[in-house]
Amino acid sequence: MDIEGSVALVTGGNRGIGRQFVDELLRRGASRVYAAVRRPERADVPGAHLLQVDITDPAAVTALAAAAPDVTLLVNNAGIATTTSLVTGDLDVIRQEMETHYFGTLSVVRAFAPVLRRNGGGAIVNVLSALSWFSYSGSNPYAAAKAAEWSLTNGVRLELAAQGTLVQGVHLGAADTELMPDYDGPKIDPLDVARASLDGLAREELEVLVDDWSRMIKASLAGDPREFYGPSLTLR
């Protein structure tokens, strides 16, 4: 995937990791970058073409694909994070996590798959999380939705290979964005996420593990869950 001269679209492109993708794509010579956001009238993204979308609204996603027929690189970054409980939390809130990360992402992929095919194949980047592979009290609905999105990424990668579309999954621990204002652990620069992903596209990498945390979490999957979760699994 050659970034220079490409036409990219980034969902959630007005802040956080999405904003860094937009800026880095422009720095690397993308000929056009669309920033797809919920409220374009409130967004300020110099150099980008602003488009409106709510990825949980199928009609809005269809309109987005029609408005950007020249896209060769799609970055699925839009997301939400709630702090509810899977067992006692509001089920509608939990569904919203899945509607956004799983069904919303899938809706965008389905809308842009024919666009990418017409434009030579191109690539899709799905911004995932180390939480695709573990759970953490307070983020369990997010983790479940990201696990589903990881599986989705693996599935559409297989289905789109025949049309020449590369599908990349990007995993990271905590990034210094508005999505994690109360997290007091170490956070990486969101620019590092964009750079690692785009560097990986140049090497046709299917999966990018941005930081040591995501690499450690994935490696832990081969072990006993008690070794990872420790006292959290102690029955009372």
Which residues are known catalytic residues?
142
- Separation of alpha carbons 222 and 150, rounded Å: 17
Residue 37 class from Cβ within 10 Å (0-12 exposed, 13-18 middle, 19+ buried)? buried
For residue 171, report the phi and psi dihedrals to the nearest 5 degrees: -120, 140
Alpha-helix runs per DSSP H in the chain: 16-27, 58-67, 91-98, 105-118, 140-160, 190-202, 212-220, 225-229
47 is written with which tokens? Answer: 């150099």
Task: Give the CA distances from residue 61 to residues 10, 49, 85, 232, in Å, rounded to whole numbers and listed in that order.
Answer: 13, 16, 29, 40
Which residues are CB-contacts of 5 (< 8 A; sequence separation ≥ 6)? 29, 30, 31
Indicate the pairing of strand 123-127 with strand 73-76: parallel
Beta bridge partners of 9: 34, 74
